[in-house]
Chain A
Amino acid sequence: MRRVYLDHAATTPTRPEVVKVMLPYFTDAFGNPSSIYSYGQEAKGAVEEARTKVAELIGAQSEEIIFTSGGTEADNFALKGIAYANEDKGNHIITTSIEHHAVLEVCKFLKRREFRITYLPVDKYGLVDADDVRKAITDKTILISVMHANNEVGTIEPVEEIGEIAREAGVYFHTDAVQTMGHILVNVDKLKVDLLAISAHKFYGPKGVGALYVRKGTKLVSLMHGGEQEKRRRAGTENVPAIVGLGKAVELAGQGMGKEAERLAYLRDNLIKGLGKKIDHIRLNGHPTRRLPNNVNVSVDFVEGESMLLNLDLEGVCASTGSACSSASLEPSHVLLALGLSPEQAHGSLRFTFGRENTEADIERVLEVLPGIVTRLRAMSPLYKTQK
């Protein structure tokens, strides 16, 4: 059976070109970048080259890029780093109710330690109102953190506007760009951000590596203490092969990004249209136009997400859901609830996220198998009878 992978927001396959440039740094060029002999310096050169590539694509300077173990560390670093470096200035952080857990859980952690957190609401499309950000700022506010695009529903936030507001107020501004980097334009000056988190495996790079952009002059406390790597901001021997892979992934993403985004948006819109035609009682989650080019998120009434996913998997289709039947809390996606969906609708959500290898045939495959799955599950749903 042909496998149709439609979960690129979860992770992407590492491109063969990326793997190829990584390999020598495991074996022949295995040196420690901190060593002064040529083996070490060769590795250091590769790390710096990758740094330049990342900086170039986001319009930053090389020294403003700190490599991390991924998006989660980058978000942790931004929030905790700013919070603890600016305790003398204030203790208030503004974020949104739909951030990734890598931000929300850090906020929870900080809240238990004398910091105050404001969680801004979103509208039914998942959009944050920039005016709400302005109103939430107090003389104690030290950081605003708003994601560039939401990982579940794909809504692209008004980051530029918020950046403007943050700058006027003299408050640091962080954005989690894990879902946008490599897919749509990410430019730190255009977005007016002071900090920005990225993760390589979301754009065909390896897992376990990411970066945090930190605007020059930004006061930040380190999370990792030890050696002098990353200009003493992040100790630990560099993950050289992964960093090289990140650099290559960034380079490849920069080539033909617009064209690929256009192609994916076409697939996205076709799937949305097709699902609407073939399945009744279905709704699109997220913004109709201000959304990631590769994201389709729908709620199918009267059926639960995991049972749809399992059935799709049996047909070779990999997707995702905001239903959390398998999480310890059993609560459905905080993002979908923040958009105003009922728990049933949130449990009945499906997310399809496209990537490079997907074609129209994959969309057709979903449209071929999903309606039957929904009909079968609805037939056994106690919620369906009351609606008929």
Chain B
Amino acid sequence: MPDVWSQYSKKVMEHFKNPRNVGEMENPDGTGHVGNPVCGDIMELYIKVKDGIISDAKFKTFGCGAAIATSSMVTEMVKGKSIKEALKISNKAVAEALDGLPAVKMHCSVLAEEALKKAIEDYSNKSKRKRK
């Protein structure tokens, strides 16, 4: 029997209680905005890229415990990764890194993956424009 009954793993609760990398980023190189108010989750993910490596990531999230924990986890996971490596981070990987999510909350990890992909896409578009 767990000491505290929760639908979430200890790791999810830990990230929910102490989310990493919260807040806005000044002049991000890429921003990903996903979700909508109807489903109750909105995520904004910001990245800084230096020499093809994601040097920093931050987020702002309106959503449930799982949404906050997956946002926190995905920002931790991308830091120090190359763009190519970061694109390989799947929603399942985020969920696994949190020791799993309840089935009804898996969509939160999907949102985290999408936010990351959008942020990278935004970065790529911006750098293409710069090159032109």
Contact = CB atoms under 8 A, between A and B. Distances in A.
B63 interface: yes
Interface in B32-84: 33, 37-44, 59-68
B23 to A, nearest CB: 7
A159 B23 CA distance: 50
Contact of B62 (A303, A310, A330, A342): A303
A330 B107 contact: yes
A314 B17 contact: yes
A326 B37 contact: no
B22 interface: yes
Contacts of A385: 24, 60
Interface string A349-387: 000000000000000000000000000000111110100
A326 B104 contact: yes
Nearest to B72: A380
Interface in A282-328: 302-307, 310, 314, 323-328
A149 B78 CA distance: 50
Nearest to A314: B17
A330 B39 contact: yes
Contacts of A383: 42, 62
Q: Is the interface of B mostly helix, strand, loop or mixed?
A: mixed
Interface residues of A, number: 27
A380 B41 contact: no
A338 to B, nearest CB: 15
A306 B65 contact: yes
Nearest to B59: A380
Contact of B64 (A302, A314, A323, A328): A323
Nearest to A331: B38
Contacts of B44: 382
A139 B42 CA distance: 48
B63 A307 contact: yes
B16 interface: yes
Contact of A325 (B13, B17, B41): B41
A305 B68 CA distance: 13
Contacts of B60: 380-382, 385
Nearest to B45: A382
B22 A304 contact: no
Given A343-B38, A382-B42, A327 B104 contact: yes
A347 B37 contact: yes
A326 B38 contact: no
Contacts of B43: 382
Given A343-B38, A382-B43, A326 B24 contact: no
B104 A304 contact: no
A380 B59 CA distance: 8
Given A326-B102, A327-B104, A385-B60, A307 B65 contact: yes
A96 B105 CA distance: 31
B104 A343 contact: no
Given A330-B107, A382-B60, A310 B16 contact: yes
Contact of A326 (B19, B62, B64): B64
Contacts of A126: none
Given A379-B22, A380-B19, A328 B62 contact: no
A350 to B, nearest CB: 13
B27 interface: no
B65 A380 contact: no
B38 A304 contact: no
Contacts of B23: 379-380
A260 interface: no
Given A323-B64, A380-B60, A382-B61, A343 B16 contact: no
7 contacts: A307-B64, A324-B40, A325-B41, A325-B66, A326-B64, A330-B40, A342-B37
Interface of B: 7, 13, 16-17, 19, 22-24, 33, 37-44, 59-68, 102, 104-105, 107
Interface of A: 302-307, 310, 314, 323-328, 330-332, 342-344, 347, 379-383, 385
Given A304-B40, A307-B63, 12 more contacts: A303-B62, A304-B67, A310-B13, A310-B64, A314-B17, A323-B40, A343-B38, A379-B23, A380-B23, A381-B61, A382-B33, A383-B42
In the A-B complex, the 5 residue pairs with the closest CB atoms: A325-B64, A306-B64, A382-B60, A347-B40, A330-B39
